[in-house]
Amino acid sequence: MESPVLATHTATERLIADPTAQLAQYLLVCHARSLSFTRGLWCFNLETLSGESLIEAEDEDEGDLNRLSLLAAVRGLEAIDGGSLVSLVSNNRYLIRSLDQSLPRWRENDFIWEHFGRKMPVQNADLWRRIDRTLAIHQVTASLIQTTRVSGHPLEISPAAAANPSHGTAGDFAGTEITSDSPPLIRVDQGHTAPTSPLAVRPNDRLRSWLAGQEEASPRPPRRGRYRPEDLALD
């Protein structure tokens, strides 16, 4: 039987080897929206990796879209008590790239840069100083989210089809006599329902784990031959 002293010593060694093992882990989603050239809304949502929303805040403030996104990150990080592992997510390129590439250089130069021989503060230096203070407390990873619409554009249909939501089904075309004077008919199919798979997992948990750097692709051995639908399901 393992002695209690040995068990305690082993736990201590694990904590020393991985000092982040006892830190709380959060997902911080930050975004902003401009209302005018000088004002807009900032918003952040702090969640656990299981999807539980802990803090959600939104307010209107002065500034362009970059400053508003930065303000959302500042307020979100400052709202977390104690040191934590934080996965920050935003669709603002200025915020994420500055965190990754520019902030270390700004820190070394005390948030001052030289512009045509004149030394002046970097843009939004007041907020970047606050960000830098939170990075001394939390361990933060940042992810840039980009979205592009690739489908779902509105279809041009006749006014009669728009007035009748059921128009476009196979039953509507059955037995329809089409002549040269008939208006053009357009078929609008309903979206397909994805088949359920026993290998499917909850997408929210997988997305949060991936953003937090915990999701790893499970290797599959190469195979030859025809694939079945269940072979293409996500693990």
| Residue 151: band (very low, low, confident or very high) from pLDDT cuts 50, 70, 90 | confident
Ranked by mean pLDDT, which of 38-42, 153-157, 190-194 comes out on top? 38-42
Is the pLDDT at 20 greater than 50, yes or no? yes
User: Could you give the domains of the chain?
Assistant: 19-144 (3.30.420.10)
Is the pLDDT at 6 greater than 50, yes or no? no
Is the pLDDT at 170 greater than 60, yes or no? no
Whether residue 47 contacts residue 30, with contact meaning beta carbons closer than 8 Å, is answered with: no
Is the pLDDT at 96 greater than 90, yes or no? yes
Backbone angles phi, psi at 211, to 5 degrees: -65, -30
Strand partners, 15: none
Q: Which residues are within 8 A (CB) of 166 and not within 5 positions of it... i.e. 6 or more apart? A: 172
DSSP assignment of 180-217 equals TTSPP----PPPPPPPP-TT---HHHHHHHHHTT---P
Q: What is the pLDDT of residue 115?
A: 83
Q: Which of 100-104, 130-134, 201-205, 225-229 has the lowest mean pLDDT?
A: 201-205
| Residue 9: band (very low, low, confident or very high) from pLDDT cuts 50, 70, 90 | very low
Q: What is the pLDDT of residue 148?
A: 80
DSSP assignment of 73-140 equals HHHHHHTS-SSEEEEEEES-HHHHHIIIIIHHHHHHTTTEEEETTEEEEPTTHHHHHHHHHHHTTSEE
Q: Mean of the per-residue pLDDT values for the chain? A: 75
Tens digit of each residue's pLDDT (9 = 90 or more) over 179-211: 666 566 555 555 555 544 444 444 456 666 666
Is the pLDDT at 2 greater than 50, yes or no? no
Q: What is the pLDDT of residue 70?
A: 97
Give SS3 for 10.
helix
What percent of the chain has pLDDT above 90?
48
Handedness of CA 19, 22, 24, 25 (dihedral sign): positive
Which comes out higher in pLDDT, residue 125 or 49? 125
Whole-model pTM: value is 0.61
Give SS3 for 143.
strand
- Supply 160's token pair: 């009669």
Q: Which residues are within 8 A (CB) of 214 and not within 5 positions of it... i.e. 6 or more apart? A: 49
Is the pLDDT at 19 greater than 80, yes or no? no
Q: State the Cα–Cα distance between residues 14 and 50, nearest whole angstrom.
A: 25
Q: What is the pLDDT of residue 16?
A: 46
Q: What is the pLDDT of residue 189?
A: 54
Give the pLDDT mean for 118-138.
96
Tens digit of each residue's pLDDT (9 = 90 or more) over 110-122: 999 988 889 999 9
Which comes out higher in pLDDT, residue 87 or 220? 87
Residue 41: enclosing H or E segment and its boundaries? strand 39-48
Q: Which residues are within 8 A (CB) of 108 and not within 5 positions of it... i.e. 6 or more apart? A: none
